Amino acid sequence: MDKRYLRSIRLLSECMQLFEQASARKVRQFGLTHSQFDIIATLGNTPGMTCKELGERTLMTKGTLTGVLDRLEEKRLIQRERGADDRRQLFVRLSNSGEQTFAEVFPQVVENGKQRFTSYTADDYQTLEDALLKLKQHLEQDQR
Amino acid sequence: MDKRYLRSIRLLSECMQLFEQASARKVRQFGLTHSQFDIIATLGNTPGMTCKELGERTLMTKGTLTGVLDRLEEKRLIQRERGADDRRQLFVRLSNSGEQTFAEVFPQVVENGKQRFTSYTADDYQTLEDALLKLKQHLEQDQR
DNA sequence: TATTGTTATACTCTATAACTATA
DNA sequence: TATAGTTATAGAGTATAACAATA
């Protein structure tokens, strides 16, 4: 089973690389890094969230997050507000300009990939989703 | 079709994240970065290759590659040799110690993931492979 | 004492452009 | 002139540990 496992993993990695390569190009055209786009995409369509939650969702450690948020704040794409109830917390949300960027970049990154899927049928999607969902469930199994 | 496309891409990205999270942990236990492991895995089981080819396979630009190779050479994991026919080229290959690291780390990174797939049947693998292969072919379509 | 987030540190990756040496 | 790889530069992400403010 070794070979099959390796082949699947290699395929998964190749697909991801292809997708990221294309989307990274788009993202960079807007002067954003992958991490910065990750934050913006996570904050998009939300009322904002704490740094803690943002870190958990994007898998960045708090120290890293501070730096990325600093750069986004310099670009006036996000705002940080001290929490009203728990004053240790910072609430991070997109600024108006950030919302605008999200509304502009996100669909383009998506569209950029989507163009290639005009020939995908409902069945094709279903098969892909089923296979990936099963894979995900296996990958999620906890390990020491 | 927008929703289905997004759902598939999100699944793909989640799978990749889960896999990379687990393997990154293993890789770091060996004191390697993702890029360094990428080089070692690419050089493993080959007689070596030029920097140019290595850059193409790992998608690193030549400037970046030089730095990563420098660090691997400091760790005595690779060797660089001036090409005999074309003296502009550098031939990069794993050192004995590098081969050993490859033989040790690679299976562990693989095994680390593989454990979770004991319940995958031949059919499961086939379905996953087919779906990913189709996805890959679509992602490979050239775009401006 | 524990938690949230920042700061400081040190390293690595990254792209780009100028450079060296070979072809 | 063109190509293979290095060097220099500047910016960004990363983990970690020490820290301040708040709970």
Of the residues B138, B141, B144, the best mutation for testing chain A's interface (the one with the most A CB atoms within 10 Å of its CB) is B138
Option in A127, A128, A140 nearest B18 (CB): A140
Is strand D less than 7 A from the beta carbon of B69?
A: yes
The pLDDT profile of chain A, 144 residues, written as one tens digit per residue, is 566 776 777 777 777 777 777 777 788 888 999 899 999 989 988 999 999 999 998 889 999 999 999 999 999 999 999 988 899 999 999 999 999 998 888 777 766 666 667 778 889 889 988 988 888 888 776 543
Helix (H, G, I), strand (E, B) or coil at B48: coil
Interface contact A121, partner B, CB < 8 A: no
CATH placement of domain B22-105: 1.10.10.10
CB burial of residue A132 (10 Å; 0-12, 13-18, 19+): buried
Scan for tokens 């939300």, then name that residue. Answer: A46
CA A25 to chain centroid: 15
Under an 8 A CB cutoff, do B120 and A1 touch?
Answer: yes
Reported as a single tens digit per residue, the pLDDT across A44-83 is 889 999 999 999 988 899 999 999 999 999 999 999 999 8
What are phi and psi for residue B78, nearest 5 degrees? -130, 165
Asked whether the predicted pLDDT for residue B80 surpasses 50, the reply is: yes
Nearest to A31 by CA among A79, A80, A71: A71
**What architecture is the A31-105 domain classified under in CATH?**
Orthogonal Bundle (1.10)
Is strand D less than 7 A from the beta carbon of B79?
A: no
Residue with CA nearest C1' of nucleotide C20 = B88
Chain C nucleotides covered by protein, CB below 7 Å: 3-9, 12-18, 21-23
Reported as a single tens digit per residue, the pLDDT across B86-137 is 999 999 999 999 999 988 887 777 666 566 677 788 898 899 889 888 888 8
- For residue A112, count other CB atoms closer than 10 A to its CB: 16
Reported as a single tens digit per residue, the pLDDT across B50-68 is 999 999 988 899 999 999 9
Give the helix/strand (H/E) hosting A92.
strand A90-94
Q: How far is the CA of B89 from the C1' of D3 (A)?
A: 10
Interface contact B127, partner A, CB < 8 A: yes
**Which residues of chain B neighbour A127 with C-beta distances below 8 Å?**
127, 130-131
